[in-house]
Amino acid sequence: MAVRFGLEGRVALVTGGGQNTGLGIGSTLAAYGAAVVVNDVMSERAEAGAAAIREEGGSAIAMPFDITDYDAVLSGVRAAEQEVGPIDILVNNAGLPIGGQMLPFLDSKPAAWRPYIDINIFGSLNMMHVVLPGMVERGWGRIVQISSGSGSVASRGLGGSMYGAGKAGIEGAVRHIATEVGPRGVTVNTLALGLMEKLRETIAAGDSPVIDAIWQGNVMGHLGTGEDVGAACLWLCSAAGEFVTGQTIHLNGGSFPGR
């Protein structure tokens, strides 16, 4: 039997989809036939991301809202559904708070903890809570949670305690939510990413020993791209991925932070 990777007729919403990883995901899903809703808290990024996908020949609309605000999520998702139809695929990609700073835990203040938890846990839960009832009712849906190796292992010197807490927390929720919705035709999985090319470009070699160490641990000799993540999303979100749920899959060029 032919394995089916096409997404024709599906509607996919990608949070934080205006740039970098999220844009690579949206662009890949659109290339395989999905109509893509590009969400971003920065409206100009959402618009630019949707325009970039359309320039490539894909179908995309921009839907800016803040995923940490439940009411904004509800009205943003409903507005998108009015325009392009029910959400079949959700990629919870937004996970780096605007202006968030990684700090050693002992140097941090409580106010600095919340953004990582808000975006990764509450933001992702808000999105899932709003789109899942429709998926369950229609008997088909796909959710991909974007996480990081930081949810599984620590990197000395990264200052990633709250980032890791947010990622590990949502990975735990994903596993349990998958058991609730699997029998209704919905899969929920996590992709835990290693260091991505775009981030490495912004941090020069030698400026961050921890980033250099992660890079040196990469056995493939190149860092991740949005398209690499998009390809994994395509597999999980197509008919080909229907036997996979509740999993955390590491996409990191063979490297693992802290190893």
Ligand X SMILES: NC(=O)c1ccc[n+]([C@@H]2O[C@H](COP(=O)([O-])OP(=O)(O)OC[C@H]3O[C@@H](n4cnc5c(N)ncnc54)[C@H](O)[C@@H]3O)[C@@H](O)[C@H]2O)c1
List 144's β-bridge partners, or say none: 91, 189
Does position 199 interact with ligand X (CB under 6 A)? The reply is yes
Does position 245 interact with ligand X (CB under 6 A)? The reply is no
Mapping DSSP to helix (H, G, I), strand (E, B) and coil, where does residue 162 land? helix
- Distances, alpha carbon 205 to alpha carbons 7, 155, 259, in Å: 39, 17, 19
Task: Mark the segment that binds ligand X (CB under 6 A) among 16-24, 54-62, 78-86, 133-141.
Answer: 16-24
Beta-carbon contacts of 253 under 8 Å, excluding residues fewer than 6 positions away, are 194, 195, 218, 219, 220, 221, 222, 223, 224
Task: Mark the segment that binds ligand X (CB under 6 A) among 12-20, 103-111, 127-135, 152-160.
Answer: 12-20
Question: In the complex, what is the shortest distance from the CB of residue 23 to ligand X, in angstroms, rounded to a whole number?
Answer: 8
Does position 16 interact with ligand X (CB under 6 A)? The reply is yes
Residue 11 backbone dihedrals phi, psi, to 5 degrees: -110, 125
Does position 91 interact with ligand X (CB under 6 A)? The reply is no
Question: In the complex, what is the shortest distance from the CB of residue 150 to ligand X, in angstroms, rounded to a whole number?
Answer: 7
Mapping DSSP to helix (H, G, I), strand (E, B) and coil, where does residue 224 land? strand
163 assigned to active site: yes
Paired tokens of 152: 């599984």
The residue from 32, 70, 116, 163 that is catalytic is 163
Task: Mark the segment that binds ligand X (CB under 6 A) among 30-38, 95-103, 129-137, 172-180.
Answer: 95-103
Does position 96 interact with ligand X (CB under 6 A)? The reply is yes
How many CB atoms sit inside 10 A of residue 20's CB? Answer: 20
Question: In the complex, what is the shortest distance from the CB of residue 243 to ligand X, in angstroms, rounded to a whole number?
Answer: 25
Q: What mask of x and - would describe binding to ligand X in positions 17 to 56, judged by CB under 6 A?
A: -xxxxx----------------xxxx--x-----------
Nearer residue to ligand X within complex by CB, 35 or 144 = 144
Does position 68 interact with ligand X (CB under 6 A)? The reply is yes
d(C-alpha 71, C-alpha 211), whole Å: 37
Q: Are 61 and 53 in contact (CB under 8 A)?
A: no
Does position 220 interact with ligand X (CB under 6 A)? The reply is no
Residue whose C-alpha is closest to residue 188's, from 232, 223, 237? 237
Does position 102 interact with ligand X (CB under 6 A)? The reply is no
Nearer residue to ligand X within complex by CB, 21 or 238 = 21
Query: β-pairing, 11-14 with 186-193?
Result: unpaired
How many CB atoms sit inside 10 A of residue 205's CB? Answer: 9
- Distances, alpha carbon 38 to alpha carbons 34, 94, 101, 140, 237, in Å: 12, 11, 25, 21, 16
Which of 36, 90, 146, 233 touches ligand X (CB under 6 A)?
146
Task: Mark the segment that binds ligand X (CB under 6 A) among 75-83, 90-98, 126-134, 180-188.
Answer: 90-98
User: How many residues lie near ligand X (CB under 6 A)?
Assistant: 29
Q: Are 122 and 166 in contact (CB under 8 A)?
A: no
Residues labelled as active-site residues: 163
Q: Using CB under 6 A, list all residues that contact ligand X.
A: 15-16, 18-22, 39-42, 45, 66-68, 93-98, 119, 123, 146, 148, 193, 195-196, 199
